[in-house]
Amino acid sequence: MTESPSWLGRRVPRNEDARLLTGRALFVDDVNPPGTLHVAFFRSDHAHALIRGIELGTARRRPGVVAAYTAADLGEFWQPGQLLVAPVPVEGAVFHAVTQGPLARGKVCCAGEALAMVVAESRYLAEDALADIQVDLEPLPAVGDLEAALAPGAPVIHQGLGGNLAARARQRKGDYEAARAAAHRVIARRFRYDRGVSGAIENRGIVAAWDPRAEELTVWDTTQAPIPIRNGLARVLGLRESQVRVIAPFIGGGFGPKIMMHYPEELLVPWAARRLGATVKWIEDRQESFFATTQERLQIHDAELAVAADGKILGVRDRFLHDTGAYDPYGLTIPINTQCTLLGLYDVPCYDSEFTVVFTNRPIVTPVRGAGRQHGVFVMERLLDFAARELGLDPVEIRRRNLLTPDRFPHDHGILFQDSAPLIYDSGNYAPLLERAAERVEYQRFKRETQPAARAGGRRLGIGIVSYVEGTGIGPYEGARVTIEPSGTVRVATGVGTQGQGHFTTFAQIVAEVLGVEVGRVEVVTGDTREFGWGSGTFASRGIVVAGTACHEAACRVRAKAVALAAEILGVAAEEVELASAGARVRGAPQRRIGLGELARRANPLRGAVRPGTEPGLEATAYFGPDRGSTAAGVHAMVVEVDPETALVAIRRYVVVHDCGRVINPAIVDGQIQGGVAHGIGNAFYEALAWDENGQLLNASFMDYLLPTALDVPTVEIVHLETPSPLNPLGVKGVGEAGAIPTAAAFAQAVEDALAGTGLEILEAPLSPNRLFELLQALPGAAR
Amino acid sequence: MKPAPFTYHAPASLERAFALLDEHGYDAKPLAGGQSLVPAMNFRLAQPAVLIDLNRLDRLAGIEPTDAGGLRIGAMTRQRALERDPRVARVAPLLAQALPHIAHPQIRNRGTLGGSLAHADPASELPAVMLGLGARLRLGGSRGERWLPAQEFFLGLFSTALEPGELLLEIEIPAAAPGSGWAFEEAARRHGDFALAGVAAGARLDADGRCRETTVVLFGVGEGPVPVPGAAAALAGRRPSAQRIAEAAEVVRSSLDPPGDIHASPAYRRRLAAVLTRRALTRAFDAAGKASA
Amino acid sequence: MIVKGEHAFSGRPELVWALLLDPEVIAKAMPGTRELALTAPNRYEGRMVVTIGPVTAAEFALVIMLEELAPPRRFVMRVDGNGRFGFTRGTARVELAANDGGTMMRYEADLQVGGKIAAVGQRLLDVVSRTLLRAGLAALGKELEHRLGDGDRP
């Protein structure tokens, strides 16, 4: 028998694709038991208003309506939501926690807040009943501009605080003032990065079924964190955790907002199911998602970079405002990510970063793919570009001169990361990322030949190269249980959910490698609290690092049990037993073999004894809890063409050179990066939520909120480099957000390069052609 | 996003359709391709009490040549059918150039020519194309039929000359005069989006290579298709040159008073209109030159 | 959204003023107004139904309040419209000046549209408000001319 090559690093076709592509995968909306009741929410049109009265009588009398509720009807069940993430303990930080209740009470703080819930025989009838509801709202002035919200006399959103300041924190290292005084140049600019939605292809949804005989609640939920949802629901509903089962089935994209637990709907739908003794269902429609699902991205930075004459960074100072929306359930995660990620791949001796988090009358902000890293990268990369321009340096060169060298790892930056641990880069080898990217995109040839030739022909091509780090794989922990079944199938259960990352394949590859079986014989179960009840969830690019490592550890323990039992059965020492081709065999004498399925049967005797200190079967559970995250890194290069007359921009080429440590499945990593780049291109160029001065959202649909389509996103050319992480046995790092992080910075550099000589500076993201036109018109010498 | 309740009829004959329209008046909306109406109903922005589905009226779909070398197109003809028909490419190149810009193939599989014209969205391509081609429209109801030139059909924002009880039945496109050239240009954020601005242009040269006729119709810049007859003045009777074409584009730019929205300011729309006009006229004259040769 | 302009009427400012405060006349100036009645000093309430293109029967409960009255020169009108589709709120400052035997009306309005119509209809808000405003002014002008033509009666 020939040995099969390692499963790790192989482009294995995904285990889950056959089901997904033939429509056999279960999504929440596929759950339709007979007699299901349907929910619709009455949501506020106004962004800031006092609730004078809500009248539900007419709605309740409509035929087909089973019930309707306001906050008053919830009684003691009404409570402000829990704080999801405790604020990172930055010294001297101020944090005012204000969280949202399940239905608005007393006042409305953002448009889309739910004022009432209607339960009816169909969603059609429930929406008809919404038209029956009379709400008396007294509109108040709404505030959305961050500086206006902090100005004296601004409308105060949460009375008890006396103002709209939600938090403030400052992190420092070294002496920035001294660095500034010694600098050859100080580059200072104001940057603005604006709000967007996560745009998952599947909206949110919940089906809750209360079984009065078994006294059990089953909930199907598009959540990235089924276990915390289960724990929270049990607590608020007064049930035991064992009475509640939360299932996160196949989910069409998570990206962060689906972990915002508990959303009002996640509490109300199960509550209604219990109260009505029925199965209750709510599926969010797309228009609702613009208001009811969390968003991210508005920050304003006043930042400066102190550089030496040779382009070396002496220090950075940043003062920024961060929009948290009407409430702040997610602690300081996003702005801390911004603070940390700004440092990038560079050696930054001195740093002084302070942020102020502001309440506004806008939907709640929680992490969306990138989670604040985009902003840090945008600020640093842009400052470097402007510094390069002033110093007469090439943008690649100024980066080259500032990269951390391999001897500087592990590198402690002296500030705290989102997991409250010190920001320490575990491993990295950055110069090759930059060189490979420049080489792959043919940077030299572009600047010397391609670009000038195009210009002579009236075409404006431009190139942008930027770098970024991505902190990944943070704790607290995840677990996995691996079982070899008598059929020979290996079953893996873990607590994280899957929203398209390919866990059914990558975790299978990890386990298959340890146990010597075919990847297709490893069945992975994720996201079902009945299968595995300990863990946190899928977020912050940690699935493969934390859950993957737990799978590995559990598989290793099963391997040890299998080897020990096989050694006994085959009559050899354990060291002479190897696992391969779905069996245990003696090394050098492969005919002396016992299949894994047979081994599993033997491990579970119907007679005889299981010796004390051992367990029946071939099964083990393991947990992995890293005390800090691992740092991935990469470089993106982009070529654009700008039509100088119409300000329309096309992306001609996109290259990503990327290091996420050991790559388990290159095809899946490629997919993550391609998808991340699509997200990044949307961020940089298409997606912008437009609010009027009264907090009214003007583009709550995909007609006017533009997502890039397959026709707008180029195929990304991807190069993988691998610098393993020392923090886990596989050496893996996360990759979920990488593609989305530096795109706006690359785009800005490339467009400026295409229009070099005009004096154009791009200080904002996203940048639409309309806005580019406006910026160009404002430059001296612009044509009409 | 579920529609409000409505009564649904799917008449099998035109007579029955007219009778239903007369009976229900303003409470009824005819359903053609549904690509504009159904989303509006799902948003509950449109709440017709009665929906009259025209999709069983086979007689209203079809493409026939006219004796004069033009085309007669039934109102219920799908946009995708027009896109694929070689006669359309031959007789009405302006229409053939415009069709791929309308949304996406899936939408064009259902969307109809008549439905788009009757809807009269100011950002839509087909009204401008009909004006550019000098098309005639046949309207009819229980009280009889009438023909109307395209430029008299579009009255303003979502507003057409259709009287209560009337349906758009047929569109007649004349044969192109010899020496004609056509060009369609559109600026949009993404392929298939509503236009930020667009131009349907036609040009005709006489045997001398002088401009005999110029048509410039803009869309996405006002309340409906916007013909700019003044653009022709810069070119009438003269040989087209880059300079004169630029003058025509300037006439377009200064004559427009476009609306602003989150995608484009009035100034940006004016700029796009001018640039697209210049590019369209250049191509149209080029094509006219080849057609005369 | 700021909308401003001017419109000339024949008829002295005092006459135009009186007509402008007449609920029947105001109703004519807002296309689709089904009812409008004076319910308290300087307060009108009623119903308006807007139909534009596919949007049929967008019904609004209207409240109009007149403030800062300085007859016959100027007043401020506050409009509050609420419906299933969303809401509209506006403040219009109107000034009347004698003009060659007639009256020149100058207006500046700050109009806010919110809720569903704004969220999915923003593309058309500018065009729609211009269209409605133009239609409204034309209707107002016609009504005024009609009444003024009946003789110099207040």
Name the CA dihedral angle for A19, A24, A29, A31, rounded to a multiple of 10 degrees: -120
For the cut 50, the answer to whether the pLDDT of residue A444 exceeds it is yes
Q: Model confidence over A308-318: pLDDT tens digits?
A: 999 999 999 99
Neighbours of A50 (CB within 10 A): 13
* Complete domains list, chain C, with CATH: 2-148 (3.30.530.20)
Q: By three-state DSSP, how is residue A94 classified? A: strand
Q: Would the CB atoms of A704 and C118 count as touching at under 8 Å?
A: no
Q: Tell if the CB–CB gap between C53 and B121 is shorter than 8 Å.
A: yes
Q: Average pLDDT in the A731-760 region?
A: 94
Distances (CA, A) of B81 to A221, B111, B128: 43, 10, 19
Average pLDDT, chain A: 94
- CA–CA dist A194, A766 (Å, integer): 7
Q: How confident is the model at residue A4 (pLDDT cuts 50, 70, 90)?
A: low
pLDDT tens for A386-423 read: 999 999 999 999 999 999 999 999 999 999 888 888 99
Residue A260's pLDDT band (cuts 50, 70, 90): confident
Which residue on chain B is closest to C125 by alpha carbon? B261
Q: How many CB pairs under 8 A join B and C?
A: 61
Q: Confidence class of residue A72 from pLDDT cuts 50, 70 and 90?
A: very high
pLDDT, position A219: 98
Cβ distance B157 to C85 less than 8 Å, yes or no, reads: no
Q: What percent of chain B has pLDDT over 90?
A: 88
Indicate the SS3 state at residue C136: helix
Distance of CA A620 to the CA centre of its chain: 30
Read off the pLDDT band of A3 (50, 70, 90): low
Kindly indicate the confidence band of residue A1, based on its pLDDT and cuts at 50, 70 and 90.
Answer: very low
B22 touches chain C (CB under 8 A): no
Q: How far is B21 from chain C (nearest CA, A)?
A: 16
How far apart are alpha carbons B223 and C139 in whole angstroms? Answer: 19
Domain at A31-140+202-252+257-292, CATH homologous superfamily: Aldehyde oxidase/xanthine dehydrogenase, a/b hammerhead (3.90.1170.50)
Strand pairing class (B7-9; A764-765):
unpaired
**In chain A, whose CA is at the least distance from the CA of B268?**
A770
Question: Which of B1, B186, B250 should be substituted to probe chain A, the one whose Cβ sees the most A Cβ atoms within 10 Å?
Answer: B1
Residue B163 pLDDT > 70: yes
pLDDT category at A248 given cuts 50, 70, 90 is very high
Q: Strands B50-53, B71-74: parallel, antiparallel or unpaired by DSSP? A: unpaired
Instruction: Tell the CATH topology of A299-474+627-777.
Output: Aldehyde Oxidoreductase; domain 4 (3.30.365)
**pLDDT of residue A114 exceeding 90:** yes
User: The tokens of B201 are what?
Assistant: 């242009």
* Percent of chain C at pLDDT exceeding 70: 96
Q: Is the pLDDT of residue A329 over 70?
A: yes
pTM of the model: 0.93
What does the pLDDT read at residue A737?
87
User: What's the CA gap between B113 and B77, in Å, rounded?
Assistant: 6
Q: Which of residues B66 and C32 earns the better pLDDT score?
A: B66
Find, among B197, B28, B76, the residue nearest to B128 by Cα.
Answer: B197
Q: Which of A13-17, B145-149, C141-145 has the lowest mean pLDDT?
A: C141-145
* A15-19, A229-233, A246-250, A626-630: segment of lowest average pLDDT: A626-630
Give the residue-averaged pLDDT of B65-79: 97
All CATH 3.30.365.10 domain ranges of chain A, comma separated, are: 17-24+475-624, 299-474+627-777
Does the structure show a pLDDT above 90 at C91?
Answer: no
- Asked if the bond preceding B225 is cis, omega within 30° of 0, the reply is no
Given pLDDT bands bounded at 50, 70 and 90, which one contains residue C57? low
Instruction: Determine the distance in angstroms separating the CA of C80 from the nearest CA of chain B, rounded to an integer.
Output: 20
Identify the residue among A130, A696, A703 best suited for mutation to test binding to C, counting C beta carbons within 10 A and taking the highest. Answer: A696
**pLDDT greater at residue A183 or residue C75:** A183
What is the rounded average pLDDT of the residues C41-48?
89
The pLDDT confidence band at residue C118, using thresholds 50, 70 and 90, is: confident
Q: How far is B49 from chain C (nearest CA, A)?
A: 10
Phi, psi torsion values for A590, nearest 5 degrees: -65, -15
Does the pLDDT value for residue A730 go beyond 50? yes
**What is d(CA B253, CA B251) in angstroms, rounded to the nearest whole number?**
5
Closest-approach residue (CA) in chain B for C131: B157
Give the mean pLDDT of B120-124.
93
For β-strands A165-173 and A350-359, DSSP reports them as antiparallel
Residue A190 has pLDDT above 50, yes or no: yes
Tell me which residue of B292, B190, B192, B285 sits closest to B232, measured CA to CA.
B285
Q: Considering chain B, what is the average pLDDT of its residues?
A: 95
What does CATH list as the number for A17-24+475-624? 3.30.365.10
Q: Which residue of A has its CA nearest to C86?
A: A45
Q: What is the pLDDT of residue A2?
A: 41
Q: Has residue A287 got a pLDDT over 90?
A: yes
Max intra-chain CA distance, chain C: 47
pLDDT value for A784: 63
Are A655 and A492 within 8 A, CB to CB?
A: no
Tens of pLDDT along A569-615?
A: 999 999 999 999 999 999 999 899 999 999 999 998 887 777 777 88
C123 contacts A704? CB cut-off 8 A = yes
The answer to whether A700 contacts C119, with C-beta atoms less than 8 Å apart, is: yes
State the smallest CA–CA distance between residue A112 and chain C in angstroms: 9
Q: Looking at A454-468, A528-542, A703-717, B149-163, which range is the least confident one?
A: A528-542
CA A123, A125, A131, A135 torsion: positive or negative? negative
Percentage of chain A with pLDDT > 70? 99
Q: Is C70 on the interface with B (CB under 8 A)?
A: no
Smallest CA–CA distance, residue A483 to chain C, in Å, is 51
pLDDT of A462 strictly over 50: yes
- Does residue C153 carry a pLDDT above 70? no
CA A186 to the chain's CA centroid: 34
Alpha-carbon distance of A617 to B119, in angstroms, equals 69
Rounded to whole angstroms, the Cα distance separating A672 from A686 reads 20
Q: Which residues of C touch A704 (CB under 8 A)?
A: 120, 122-123
Domains of chain B from N-terminus onward = 7-53 (3.30.43.10), 58-173 (3.30.465.10), 180-292 (3.30.390.50)
The total of other beta-carbon atoms located within 10 Å of residue A211's CB is 13
| DSSP single-letter state for residue C124 | H
Between A163 and A692, name the one with better pLDDT. A163
Q: CA nearest C116 in A: which residue? A: A45
ipTM (interface predicted TM): 0.95
